[in-house]
Amino acid sequence: MDHFSLNSGVLHAEDVPLPQIAEEVGTPVYVYSRATLERHARVFTEGLAEVPDKLIAFAVKSNPNLAVLKVLQKAGFGADVVSGGELRRALAAGMAPAKIVFSGVGKTRAELMLGLDEGIGQFNIESREEGRELAELAAARGELAPACLRINPDVDAKTHEKISTGKAENKFGIPLVHAREVFAELVQLDGLHLRGIAVHIGSQLGDLEPLETAFGKVGKLVADLREAGHLITHVDLGGGLGVPYKAGEEFPSPADYGAMVARVTRDWRVHLTFEPGRVIAGNAGILLTRVIRVKRGGNGPPFVIVDAAMNDLARPALYGAWHDFDAVEPSGEHMTANIVGPICETGDTFARDRKCDALQSGDLAVFRTAGAYGATMASSYNSRGFVAEVLVDGDQFAVVADRIDAGAIMDAERVPEWLA
Ligand code: LLP
């Protein structure tokens, strides 16, 4: 459930009519709803009510905006980060270092050092080599780095291949068959407090069964490690729960997910970490755009050319992803159209042959479910700059990221003297 709905024929974000935001901030613009973020945080937390000892660490990659992070920090969340930049954002939003988990397959030495400097709560180690390096860095400081070993359970998450992370051929984690041996080596190193296992098999999962299979493998590994004499106190179950992108689509709810987790982990006696991203932020944001013009098609439907493009919202071009597309002031008439952006490649297509509200030049429209993996994946391709972001709270709103225009980006470039 979200807080973007029609009120007197005009689409609102909570109590703010979207035309007002378009008027004051311009388009395209991402609009986030605080009430929706808070609702999702609450529902996810309540879904895990039966798991007493836990940390919910928001996957910052899904929406790293500082104001969004602040809302989630206030809801009691920590952060799952995958770079020094994300770590700095989590801290800037007031997340306690102890509630920060550092994931990622390619943490640099400098990033590991930053994590140690800030005293973060957990490093998820993805290889023997990374474990040795972290141990060496921490030991040199006379410290113990709290860590889990991320395993690759070789489970097909049944999602898009580009966002599947738990199959043997994927780059992530340590193959399950090597996990015992790598754990036994790393646990002995000075500088490392290796205390558990982490797993994450993919994103936008519509089926709990692959997650349950992966968690089952983790449970078995935990039992084996304990039998070998290791102390296991922590398990990180990653993120991945999917959300509906099409009106009417059904997905497992956080309550279904929580019930499964409680059942599978009942006897584990560990502290559990969760890293949800999309399920918290996805439906809490829309991308507001204006129709530039409608162009007649050659042998197909007309092209509705909007002022947002693949550089602002990459998911359709990158994954063939569907985003519902609705008029802000629907007339009740409908059309079938190709929804495209202005960028000079055919891949800049949001939807083909889409039945949607009838639109004409100057009309406002929204791409829904753009709160996760939206603004964060933007680029400045075609020198279009970066769009602004707005957070709505009841009847008020604030610009929480300025629009960065092509000029500001150009200011960071220079022509060397010897070329001038
Ligand atoms: N934890 C780890 C280690 C991850 O790699 C990810 C996402 C998450 C947590 C959060 O997963 P979520 O709960 O959001 O599914 N750009 C793609 C999604 C990439 C996901 C990468 N990893 C998209 O737009 O669909």
So where are the chain's domains? 4-31+282-410, 34-281
Ligand 1: distance of its center to the CA of 274 in Å? 12
- Model's pTM, two decimal places? 0.97
CA of 50 to the centre of ligand 1 (A): 24
> What is the per-residue pLDDT for 93?
98
Give, in words, the CATH class of 34-281: alpha beta
Q: Return the pLDDT at 169.
A: 83
Q: What is the pLDDT of residue 270?
A: 98
How much is the pLDDT for 166?
A: 81
Which residues, other chains included, contact 161 with Cβ-Cβ below 8 Å and sequence gap of 6+? Answer: none
Which of 40, 62, 72 is the pocket-test mutation for ligand 1 (most atoms within 8 Å of CB)? 62
Q: Is the CB of 152 under 6 A from ligand 1?
A: no
Q: What is the pLDDT of residue 160?
A: 86
Work out the number of other CB atoms within 10 angstroms of the CB of residue 61.
21
Tell the CATH topology of 4-31+282-410. Lyase, Ornithine Decarboxylase; Chain A, domain 1 (2.40.37)
On whether 245 is known to bind a ligand per the annotation, the reply is: no
Tens-digit pLDDT string for the chain (420 aa): 799 999 999 999 999 999 999 999 999 999 999 999 999 999 999 999 999 899 999 999 999 999 999 999 999 999 999 999 999 999 999 999 999 999 999 999 999 999 999 999 999 999 999 999 999 999 999 999 999 999 999 998 888 888 778 888 888 899 999 999 999 999 999 999 999 999 999 999 999 999 999 999 999 999 999 999 999 999 999 999 999 999 889 999 999 999 999 999 999 999 999 999 999 999 999 999 999 999 998 989 999 999 999 999 999 999 999 999 999 999 999 999 999 999 999 999 999 999 999 999 999 999 999 999 999 999 999 999 999 999 999 999 999 999 999 999 999 999 999 998
CA distance 347 to 170: 26
Q: Is the Cβ–Cβ distance between 12 and 371 less than 8 Å?
A: no
Residue 278 is assigned to a ligand binding site: yes
Residue 269: the pLDDT is: 97
Cis omega (within 30 of 0) for bond into 252: no
ipTM over 0.95: yes
Structural Rg of the chain based on CA atoms? 23
Q: Which atom of ligand 1 is nearest to the CA of 279?
A: 13
Under 8 Å between Cβ of 94 and 70: yes
Nearest alpha-carbon partner for 386 in 373, 399, 402: 402
